[in-house]
Amino acid sequence: MQYRLAFGRSSGEFRLAEVPRLGHFVGPTSDRSASERQDDVRTQLQNPLDAPPIHRACTADDRVSIVLDAGLPHAVDVLVPLLESLCQQGGVSPANISIVYDSSSPQSKIDALVDELPDEWADVQMVEHRPDDATGTAYLASTDGGRRVYLSRAVIDADFYLLVSRVGFDPIQGRKGPAGLLFPMMSNEETHLQARRTAMEARWLADHLCTKQDSEEVAQLAGLFYAIGVAVGSDGQHDRVWVGRYDRVAREGDLYVDANWRVEAPTVSPDLVIAVCSPDARGSSWQDVASALESATRLYRHDSGKIALVSDLADTMGPAISILRTQNDPWSAAQQIRESESPDAVAAWQIASAVANNQVYFLSKIENDLVDAMGMVPLASLHELENLARKASKIIMVEGASSVEVPIARSSIYRQAESVDQDEADTEDE
């Protein structure tokens, strides 16, 4: 069987002797044009879920903030209809509108978005939220648990704000969605650090991370009402869009993910999991690679085995991921990574956990000696992957593996790290 795999900006032909015996997952695709995507958003803006049309929610002199998940592909296809609704129907001046994005967003992505916006929206402000800038956040309130909540001033000072978020799996929040984009993403550096540590300490509770991060409670405290959720297909195009009350949008997004991106682990352990990173016009990132690895690892249930990871990754390593190069033992690296304050700590933790219990083969544009130093076996081409696959009889192949969600109980891939923590706790008790 011959397949055409798309990963990052790259694609290539890949041949297997037979159909993957344990399954071949490909997410939904959409063949709509940009104009069709924009028309869909316009229709939804006029008929939001459990809410009146957005242009009726603000007045002409309001200061409006659009909080954007800048990782969303083709964001302009959502922003153009939204700006039309706010300005042409709601009477808001473009100069009173800010598009707010997190500083972790690639600058190339922001530059491309500015270039793609039509000239009539040139007065719309692009505002970078920097968690490490104390002047850019303000105190909002405290949660029931006593947690002090800080949010971007661009949100707090706005007369009206709404969120534009991708829906799907997220390693820090469990599920991407409006509440998680607001908090912790639009909070301060201390909150970001706490969110990363919570995610690393509770990987086996991914479905509940949004609750553990206090995202829903903060959304209520901040008076969040409107949101736009976008589901992205396996081809990198918008597959579904929802506009309306944020909680209804989140619920529809969860149902979509459950129906289209949830992959159950096979009852029989595979000989080989082939995990293909999602297509992305920016190319594969370390976060894509880390999420794809975690999904592949979960497909082994409580066992471990061989994983072939397909990407076009060429990025340099962040501080936490670089720890993997300096530690011979991945579990030692994982423990060191847990103490890291670097933004790439969660991705590094996912990679270390996967490498600790699995033999990982890695196709990328990273130099072979660096891949080897990280405890993985470099693959030079899809042809080498074909040779590897010939030796396996029970294969499962997952395209768009960085976007899928594999539900499991408390995972064995974190068992050693947990036992180390328990040993430390027992020692403290003594």
How far apart (Å, rounded) are the C-alpha atoms in residues 254 and 120?
A: 35
| CATH 3.30.360.10 holds for 34-259 | no
- Angle between helix axes 345-357 and 330-338 (nearest 10 degrees) is 160
Same fold, 2-27+264-429 and 34-259: no
How far apart (Å, rounded) are the C-alpha atoms in residues 166 and 24?
A: 24
User: What is the pLDDT, as a whole number, of residue 428?
Assistant: 41
pLDDT in tens, 240-280: 999 999 999 999 999 999 999 999 999 898 999 999 998 88
- Is 0.85 surpassed by the pTM of this model? yes
3-class DSSP state of 126: strand
H helices then E strands: how many in the chain? 16, 18
User: What is the pLDDT, as a whole number, of residue 237?
Assistant: 87
State the pLDDT confidence band at 413, using cuts at 50, 70 and 90: very low
Q: Is the model's pLDDT at 197 over the cut of 50?
A: yes
Contact between residue 289 and residue 413 where contact means Cβ atoms under 8 Å apart = no
State the pLDDT confidence band at 416, using cuts at 50, 70 and 90: very low
Q: What is the phi/psi pair of residue 148, to 5°?
A: -80, 130
Q: What is the phi/psi pair of residue 22, to 5°?
A: -95, 5
- The bridge status of strand 174-176 relative to strand 168-170 is antiparallel
Q: Give domain limits for the chain.
A: 2-27+264-429, 34-259
User: What is the pLDDT, as a whole number, of residue 212?
Assistant: 65
User: What's domain 2-27+264-429's superfamily in CATH?
Assistant: LarA, C-terminal domain (3.90.226.30)
State the pLDDT confidence band at 430, using cuts at 50, 70 and 90: very low
The fraction of the chain above a pLDDT of 70, given in percent, is 92
Q: How far apart are the first and last CA of the chain?
A: 60
- Secondary structure E strands in 49-159: 64-68, 97-102, 125-129, 137-142, 148-152
State the pLDDT confidence band at 417, using cuts at 50, 70 and 90: very low
Q: Which tokens sit at 342?
A: 């670097």
